[in-house]
């Protein structure tokens, strides 16, 4: 058993083994020139949904303002501001508030594709129908760089029914929500480079 655990630990990539990742204004398979590294970005989602076992929380939109640290492995994107708006549950108004200072970590897997790990997240969902629950933890989205497909435009981060665990609230709160959203980058070319 100890040998299997040691072997698994040796095969897992360490932070030092990860390639640096940079969100870049230009598409290149090489290293992004420092002058073209994206330092600030806004991502927006239209019609994001939190799917639950008791019904869905539907929102008109969401916005995340991100401060980036280019060339890190993975690239750190600090959430400077977040907003969820026009949210409803069963026709009743809801608010979604991000409670913790959080960050996204972008890791390039191949040129212009990667993953985004949402770290330090905790949000409270409060709806007029008595739904008051907290969800958070670490979860992973898919990343697609600018113009990778026609839908990517400046690039996007995709949550495809991504599970987020319950961190607080009463016994009536579902044990998880599943986020379904496509966050599109809006300010500069978002090519996923090194």
Report the C-alpha gap between 159 and 4 in whole angstroms.
33
How many other CB atoms are found less than 10 A from the CB of residue 7? 10
Q: Which residue has the tokens 């979860």?
A: 139
Burial label for 175, CB within 10 Å (0-12, 13-18, 19+), is: exposed
CB 51 within 8 A of CB 24: no
For residue 48, what are its two tokens?
Answer: 């994001």
Q: Which residue from 147, 127, 139 is spatially nearest to 55, judged by alpha carbons? A: 127
Q: Which residue from 5, 2, 13 is spatially nearest to 115, judged by alpha carbons? A: 13
pTM across the whole model: 0.86
Q: Could you read off the pLDDT of 1-44 as tens digits, one per residue?
A: 333 333 333 444 444 457 789 999 999 888 999 999 999 999 99
In Å, the largest CA–CA distance within the chain is 55
Structure confidence at residue 107 (pLDDT): 96
Cα distances (Å, whole numbers) of residue 118 to 84, 88, 107, 136: 16, 24, 11, 9
∠21-110-189 over CA atoms, to 5°? 60
Q: Could you read off the pLDDT of 92-145 as tens digits, one per residue?
A: 999 999 988 789 999 999 999 999 999 988 999 999 877 899 999 999 999 999
Average pLDDT, the chain: 88
Residue spans per domain, the chain = 18-193
CA 31 to chain centre: 24
147: left (phi over 0), alpha (psi -120 to 50) or beta: left
Q: Is the pLDDT of residue 172 over 90?
A: no
């Amino acid at each position: 058993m100890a040998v299997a655990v040691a072997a698994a630990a040796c095969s897992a990539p360490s932070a030092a083994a990860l390639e640096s990742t940079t969100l870049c204004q230009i598409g290149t398979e090489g290293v992004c020139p420092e002058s073209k590294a994206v330092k600030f970005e806004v991502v927006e989602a239209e019609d994001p949904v939190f799917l639950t076992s008791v019904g869905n929380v539907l929102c008109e939109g969401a916005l995340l303002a991100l401060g980036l640290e280019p060339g890190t492995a993975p690239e750190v994107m600090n959430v400077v501001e977040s907003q969820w708006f026009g949210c409803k549950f069963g026709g009743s108004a809801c608010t979604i508030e991000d409670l913790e200072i959080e960050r996204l970590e972008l890791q390039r897997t191949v040129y212009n594709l990667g993953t985004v790990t949402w770290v330090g997240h905790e949000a409270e969902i409060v709806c007029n129908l008595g739904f008051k629950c907290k969800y958070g933890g670490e979860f992973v989205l898919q990343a697609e760089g600018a113009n990778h497909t026609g839908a990517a435009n400046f690039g996007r981060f995709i949550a495809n029914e991504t599970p987020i665990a319950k961190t607080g609230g009463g016994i009536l709160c579902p044990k998880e929500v599943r986020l379904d959203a496509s966050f599109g980058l809006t300010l500069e070319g978002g090519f996923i480079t090194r």
